[in-house]
Structure formats: structure tokens, C-alpha cells
Structure 1
Amino acid sequence: MVSDTDLFKDIRPYRDDEVAGAIERLIADDEFIGAIAHYRFACLSRLGGGLVKRLIRLYLGWRWRHVTSVHQVQLEVAKFMEKMISSTTAGVTYSGLEHLQPGTGYLFISNHRDIALDPAFVNWGLYTHDMDTVRIAIGDNLLRKPCSTELMKLNKSFIVKRSAKGPREMMKAFGELSAYLRHSLDDGHSIWIAQKEGRAKDGDDKTDPAILKMFYMEGKRQKIPFSDYIRSLNLVPVSISYEYDPGDVAKARELHAKETVGRYEKSEFEDIQSIVQGITGQKGRVHVAFGRPLGGDFDNADELAQALDREIHANYHLFPSNLLAAGQTAEVDSGTRQAFERHMNLVPTELRERVLAMYARPVLNKG
């Protein structure tokens, strides 16, 4: 007999009994070890790449020798997060966690600014408040390398098959995903998913109703009315705000290319580079606002999308960078103004207006 878990084997995260094997494969993966050597020990790698890789393998084998469960992986990720927060932020704050009950499965739907850090900061808030971390929705466009798949599935990520082609294949993929969300929530596992495919490169956080229609596919199959099914998902809007976005110039460059030459050609591993840039770049302060679980009656996905947008915009924490970009200088002291000017001076001249508009947009959305 096939277990419920194996019904979703294609897309689900790793289970405890799969962790040790995945770690072994990672340590044996030359591209994974090479990436660590490149980003962490670039100078040493140039002098003796082979030796550095052997030492990294030995260290990881020792460091992860007792990691045999998903929970232990999360503890390793927590150590990394603590260091990253200390070295690349001016502090991370949270609001709204008091609305959540430990042991309950929530469907967190958030604005999307950073590929890896958005769910990571959500998880940090839950972890530091003694709640279980989330299962993370991640597009298969980020899983072009075997080591990427191992890392993501070890970190409780499940796969959204964006590469599905043709209506029938897409319907099957989204139906499976919808059923997996229901299965996870019923088992008390919370989910993180972005409000739309891709990051909001212009700073305008908008929910795609197609995501919400996917949520409902399992409810529709069970012939449950839209409003009743949505209430059963414990849908929680989340607003994530960064004082400074490490990817602001890259996002502006993409938008500039699309407007000036009509297209933007993404390099093969640009998404991975964006992840590294987000993790290592300076972010200033970060705030994550958890809204209340969404109640009310919604007749369709468009109505629900509008309600989510209102909550995400209302709860978005405005930093001085947002206010200054929107021309609201009166509330900002001169030191903070100078820091923002220094940041903007690093932005290429032809991209400054776009970057300013990106930071200003949440102010306009708040109204």
C-alpha cells in the first residue's frame, strides 16, 4: 500500500530517514564543494583548490556527522541565520506572532522581495518564538543543479513545477500541489508561499489570483464552496520589509533592460547569484509583520487577492529609506538621510530613479 507521504514524493521535502543520504550526496558533490570554496575561501582556492576542497569535505563530514533528522537540519540552519543576521543586518523585528497558536498549521502568504531570505526570516521569527518552522514553496527553476535540490529539500522545501508545459500537465502539477498543501496543513505543518511567481522587482506587492485558484483546486475537487475552503486553510498574510534591498540594483537593471531594449536575458545561474547576493549583502533593518488569520467570506480568488493586498500593504513596516524615496523627508533625521544618500550614490545614475521608485512604492501602497 502506498503511503500518503509517497503520493507526493515528486515534490515533498525530505523525511528524517532521507536526511543522512542527502547529506552524503551533498558532501560528495563537487559543484557544491566548489561553490563553498569559491564564496568562502576564494584566495585559498586560487593557491590550492584541490586541497581546499578536501579540507571542506573533511570539515563538513565532521560537522554534520550527527545530523540525521529534519529537526537537526533546522538547528544547523538556525546557527547560520544567527551569524547572517549579526553580520548583514542592523536587527530583525517581528509583529503579530501573538495571533498564532503553536501546533496549528498555517498557510503563510507573503510579499516576495528575496528568493531565500523571505521564508528564512519568517522561519527565524517562528523558531525564536518556539513554533515549528514552515515548509517552503520553491519553483523548480531554482533546482537546475542536483546540489540545489538536495539543499532545498533538506530545508523543508517542496517543489512548485513551474516548468510544466501544456494545459493538461499544468493542471496535474497544480492539482498535486493543492492536495499537498491540504495534506500538510491537516498534519499541522505550516506552509510559506509567495503571493506571486517571482519577486516584486518594482516594489509593488500584488497577489496573483492564480495562486489562490491553485489553493482551491483541492477544495473544488471535494466540492467545498470557495469561501468555506479558504477559511479552512488558516491563511495568514505576511509583510516582509528590508531597509535596504541587496538586490535593488540588479532588479532595477532588469526592469531598465526590459523597458529600453524590450527584453532581459537572464544568465543560467542568475537566480543562485541572487540568493548569494541576498544572503551576503547588507540589509539594514528587517521587519516581518504577521497578520491575523484571514476570516470573512470571499466569493472568488479576485476578492481574496484584494483582501490579501490590503493586509500586506497595511502591515508593511516603512523604514526611512521608504519615506525618503517617497519625498517624505520631514520625519527623518539628518544622519539617516546621509546614510540613504550614500546608498543611492552607489547606484548607477541611469538606474537611480527606478531604485527610488522601488523604495517609494510601499509608501504609495499604504496610502
Structure 2
Amino acid sequence: MEHNSCNAGCDLSKFDGIRPFNPEELPAVYERLLEDTQFRQVIAYILPGAPLEAVRQKMMACRTNLDFQFAFCYDFLNGLLKKTSAGIDMDRAAIDKKKRYTFVSNHRDIVLDSAFLDKLLIDAGFDTTCEIAIGDNLLSLPWVKDLVRVNKSFIVRRGLSPRETLAASRTLSEYMHFVINEKNDNIWIAQREGRAKDSNDRTQPAILKMMAMGGQGSVVERLAGLHIVPLSISYEYDPCDFLKAAEFQLKRDVEGWKKSAHDDVVSMQTGIMGYKGRIHYHCSPCIDDYLYGEAAGLPKTDVFDAVAAHIDKEIHRNYCLFPINYVALDMLGGTALHNDKYTLEDKAVFEQYFAGQMAKIDIPNKDESFLYERMLKMYANPAVNYLSAIERA
């Protein structure tokens, strides 16, 4: 079997196009960012009234990417949570703050899923955050690409030919193994490419196949080398629900319709600034024991599907469900089977919220009944999957 591990003697330059910036590269990147008009506008929004020279000095004082996160991102996230949520918490009982993990999570918000995890890890006493996997489809603006690489992101290349995809996947996997085992940092990666628009969260086996390209030994040993932790992310409200519903209809009605770069920016802005209600993160146990136990006895051809199903079950059973999830489930089925989980007031609040979000959808030939069902499913599916997972537990 071919080994693709990257030990201390290997050529690290192959990661240069995807990795976060190294500390010695940061001053030049800071200067480049500060010269960009759009970045200056972002800074003026985040730090209103702050003189640019003061911002420059604050940036230059950040010797590492982690310093930058503490100096700029942490306070911004705290302020954002005060304005756009009813609070956030994390159950991390199953993980050890002295160890390093690859957090594989369901994907609710393009920007905030990983950002909130970073904040929660710091609050929990971890001495580092995560390196974040981000698709290059979101990085069309050079300053955004610079900023995310300052903020500990590594780049997943998309839209390549099959041959290029294979090579890029191998490099990506080798980099992930290098981060966990030699840089001694954590990783966050979504369980699938792009968000599950209907909140029916499923891990793509292809993500696991990519992860197993790096490392050494059997497929099970390579996956275990990344110390995967299934992470459940639960938002009470999804600010992008109406945008996702519109996407469903546009994909149905317009042949070849695809989101534009502008659509991605609107989704990011809406997700960041919109109201999210209560937010809960839940860390399941690291799957190493499962890999060396149950998965080790499986035929090689079945391993990726089985591991994906195990991650899904862990994510689903550790969702934090809110009354509105059960309201949506009953509304979708036209029943009252779960009315012990919510009050009449909960239902009225949700119906009012729902009507408001539906009114925001502005597309040609707006199909109210189709959009209504699609949006209900976004809130009902976490309850469907949770109930299924605890039945099988």
C-alpha cells in the first residue's frame, strides 16, 4: 500500500497554496489588507471610529494567527452573539482539552459554524482554536482569501478536472494529517460539500475517502490518525431559510441555475447578521474506539459508508431540538403527534416568524405551497433525524 504521510522530513512547500499564512508572512499580508478599500470598509464597520493607523498597529502586534483571532475575532463574535442570538453553549464532556481533534460537523452557516467553535474552544480552556477547511468558491475576492488564511483557514479547491481533483484531495488529506500530528492543532471540516439546504444532514463518504488518502496504514488507521469528533450544531432559527427555499424553486424552474458569487456574499451577510435564537454545540466521543472496534472488522469496501453512518447517528442523536422543530414536524404532517413538546404560544410565534420569512422571498412565479413545504422541512428534519437516531440507539 502506498504511504502518503508527511513526516518531519517531507517537503512542506506543497502545502503553500492551501495552508494558512505562517507567522513570518503575516506583516506583508496585513499591509496588503490595509490597502484594500473593501477591507477598510469592513474594519470601519467592526471597529467604528477607530483610526486606520491604530488598526494597523493592532494588526502588526499580532505575531501569530491565534493572536489575530484573539485581537479581532473573539470580541467581534461576542458582540455578534449579543445582537443576533439568545445565547450559545457547548457540551464538550466527551472531549479532552489537551488533545487535538478533527471536528466533523453538520453545516448550518457558511462563516459562523467554525467561528463559533473557535470561540467555544477558547472559552472551554483549549489553548488553540481550529484550522478551518473552506471551499475556494467562497474566495473570489483576493482580500477575502487573504483574510481567511490569516484566520487559520486552509483551502479546499473545487471545480477541478477528475485528475486535478485526485491530486488536490491527496494534498489536502496530507495537510490535514500534518496539522493534527505535527502542527498539533485542531481542524474543523463540514460533513459534506456545501450546506444541507433542507437540514437533512448526511456525511458524504467522499469526504472520508479524501481524509484517508493521507496518513499511514490501513484505511481505519488513517482515519483514526485524524481523531474525528462528530460535532452537532443546532441553531434555533436559520436566518438564510428563505434564501435556501428560493434556491430550491429556482433550481426546479430554471434549467442550469447556479448560485452566483453575489448570492454567496448575500448568504454570508444574511447568516452573520440575521437572528439565530438559541445556539447549541455538542461534541460526541472521538470515533477512534469505533474505528478500531466495529469498523475494523468490516470489508474495506464498506468502511466509508459505515463510518459516515456512524458519524450521522452521533450528530443526529446529539442535536439540541427546540419547540419550533416539533411545531414544524407536526405542521408538515398535519398532525399534533408532538404537541407535548411545545405550547400554543410556541406554535403562534413560529407561524408568525414563518409568514415573515415567506414574505421575504422575491422570485418570479413564486410557488407559495412549494416554498412553504421546503421551509417547513428545514425545521422538521432535525427532529425527524433525532427521533430516528434515538430509536436506534
| Alignment TM-score, normalising by the size of structure 1 | 0.89
- Offset, 1:40: 7.1
How far apart are the structure 2 equivalents of 1:78 and 1:189? 18
- Offset, 1:231: 2.1
How far apart are the structure 2 equivalents of 1:230 and 1:2? 22
Contact 2:230 2:283 in 1 (8 A): yes
One of 311, 331, 339 as aligned partner of 1:308: 311
How far apart are the structure 2 equivalents of 1:63 and 1:8? 28
- Offset, 1:94: 1.1
Instruction: State the AA in 2 paired with 1:190.
Output: N
- Offset, 1:263: 4.1
- Offset, 1:272: 2.1
Counterpart in the other structure of 2:385:
365
Instruction: State the AA in 2 paired with 1:249.
Output: F
Instruction: State the AA in 2 paired with 1:340.
Output: F
Instruction: State the AA in 1 paired with 2:252.
Output: E
Contact 1:257 1:263 in 2 (8 A): no
Q: 1:66/1:301 Cα in 2 relative to 1: closer, same or farther (>3 Å)?
A: same
Please tell me whether residue 347 in structure 1 is matched to residue 357 in structure 2: yes
Q: 1:258/1:98 Cα in 2 relative to 1: closer, same or farther (>3 Å)?
A: same
Counterpart in the other structure of 2:348:
338
- Offset, 1:155: 0.7
Matches of residues 1-367 of structure 1 in structure 2 within 5 Å? 4-34=11-41, 57-58=52-53, 60-75=55-70, 76-95=72-91, 97-131=92-126, 132-164=128-160, 166-187=161-182, 188-219=184-215, 222=216, 224-294=217-287, 295-296=289-290, 297-298=294-295, 299=298, 300-327=303-330, 328-348=338-358, 350=368, 351-366=371-386, 367=388
Instruction: State the AA in 2 paired with 1:84.
Output: L
How far apart are the structure 2 equivalents of 1:269 and 1:60? 28
Contact 1:109 1:194 in 2 (8 A): yes
1:170-207 superposed Cα distances (whole Å, 9 cap, x missing partner): 11100000100111110221110000000010110001
Counterpart in the other structure of 1:48:
none
- Offset, 1:162: 1.1
* Runs of 5+ consecutive residues of structure 2 not aligned to the other structure: 1-7, 331-337, 360-367, 389-393
Instruction: State the AA in 1 paired with 2:312.
Output: D
Q: 1:320/1:264 Cα in 2 relative to 1: closer, same or farther (>3 Å)?
A: farther
How far apart are the structure 2 equivalents of 1:72 and 1:159? 21
Contact 1:249 1:355 in 2 (8 A): yes
1:190-231 superposed Cα distances (whole Å, 9 cap, x missing partner): 110000000010110001000000011124xx4x11122222
3-state SS of paired residue (1:109): strand
Instruction: State the AA in 2 paired with 1:181.
Output: M
Contact 2:20 2:152 in 1 (8 A): yes
Instruction: State the AA in 2 paired with 1:144.
Output: S
Contact 1:111 1:195 in 2 (8 A): yes
Instruction: Out of 124-133 and 326-335, give the one that drifted further.
Output: 326-335
Q: 1:259/1:56 Cα in 2 relative to 1: closer, same or farther (>3 Å)?
A: farther
- Offset, 1:262: 4.1
1:57-101 superposed Cα distances (whole Å, 9 cap, x missing partner): 445325434223212111021111110111100000111x12222
1:108-131 superposed Cα distances (whole Å, 9 cap, x missing partner): 100011111111121121110111
1:334-361 superposed Cα distances (whole Å, 9 cap, x missing partner): 3333321221011226222211111001
Counterpart in the other structure of 1:47:
none
- Offset, 1:4: 4.8
- Offset, 1:325: 0.4
Instruction: State the AA in 2 paired with 1:348.
Output: M
How far apart are the structure 2 equivalents of 1:59 and 1:183? 36
3-state SS of paired residue (1:238): strand
Contact 1:136 1:193 in 2 (8 A): yes
Instruction: State the AA in 2 paired with 1:267.
Output: S
How far apart are the structure 1 equivalents of 2:262 and 2:342? 39
- Offset, 1:16: 1.6
3-state SS of paired residue (1:245): coil
